Amino acid sequence: MQSNKETIGKNKGWKIWWKLLRPHTLTASFIPVILGSALALVEDHIHWLLFIAMLIASILIQAATNMFNEYFDYKRGLDTDESVGIGGTIVRDGIAPKTVLYLGYAFCLIATLIGVYICMTTSWWLALVGTICMMAGYFYTGGPYPIAYTPFGELVSGLFMGLILVLISFYIQTGTVTLNSILISVPIAILCGGILMANNIRDLDGDKEKGRHTLAILLGRQKANIFLTGMFIASYLWIIGLSIFNVETFWMLLVFASLPKAYKAAKLFKEKSKSIQLMPAMQATAQMHTHFGFFLSLGLVLEYALRHF
């Protein structure tokens, strides 16, 4: 087997660094921002520079979280040459561990500078919220008691990458948080947690050997698959409920265009069990979250357009 030093010489292409960012996870950062901004548009509030700033800062924080995951998974021996998934760039491609860690810090610093602009334009209370979000990203795999080793990963992911991110994006545009904005952010929070659940189901056997106690491990593979499918169903039922009670617009029902991805993911998780076989299932879960959030945002934008033109 080649050592890291032997590998460094031949892996210098941009694809290595692109893979290090784990691009398939970045949609979990910008979809909530788009949704929160679409909600603000319905309220006739949109500040495009703030939208772009929030979008970039969110992506940077997600990328930083990925860097920290990469570094601490390596330090704890979780990543090996045989690991399945897009992670493991340190062990496979010879990227220096400290480089990955410092890159994560650099992303956080840039996000902080952008956050200063957002706070100057809106409220300095957001500095506290943003700091807590970055700390959650760091302590997901960092620190003495990583969140990733507990059954609370899905809850934390859904809370910060779903609910809070949507509400911050709405707040910086409108200066307030409404009941509607909270209600509409719920299914995105559920599906953000679903992305992590899919990842943990895929890695269930390896995580169990390494001493993790994720929700997927506690439930067992079969019940974890049912739980994930239940998260999909709950998200669609939530939107139906909002439509019935006239929360925003019936155009939200466009989210059902994402149903084929949800079906594909649930079917693959039910039929397959090996990590390598579950890669398409995990990808379908992430795509389902992306499509769901996109069509939900599109429905809100269409409502605004029809009302004004």
CATH code of the domain covering residue 92: 1.10.600
Residue 97 lies in a domain: yes
The answer to whether 90 and 71 are in contact (CB under 8 A) is yes
Q: What is the pLDDT of residues 41-63, one digit of tens each?
A: 988 888 999 999 999 999 999 88
279-305: pLDDT as tens digits = 899 899 999 999 999 999 999 999 888
Q: Which domain holds residue 69?
A: 4-304
In angstroms, rounded to a whole number, what is the distance separating the alpha carbons of residues 225 and 190? 15
Residue 186, domain member (yes or no): yes
Phi first, then psi, for residue 142 (nearest 5°) are: -95, 175
Judge whether 297 lies within some domain: yes
- Calculate what percentage of the chain has a pLDDT beyond 90: 56
In a domain, 151, yes or no: yes
Q: CB within 8 A of 157, min separation 6: which ones?
A: 28, 192, 193, 195, 196
Question: Over 50: is that where the pLDDT of 251 sits?
Answer: yes
Residues 6+ positions from 113 with CB-CB distance below 8 Å: none
What does the mean pLDDT of the chain come to?
A: 87
Question: Which residue type, as a one-letter code, is found at position 152?
Answer: F
This prediction's pTM: 0.88
Structure tokens at 62: 């997600």
Tell me if 309 is assigned to some domain. Answer: no
Residue 218 in tokens: 């506690």
- Report the domain count for the chain: 1
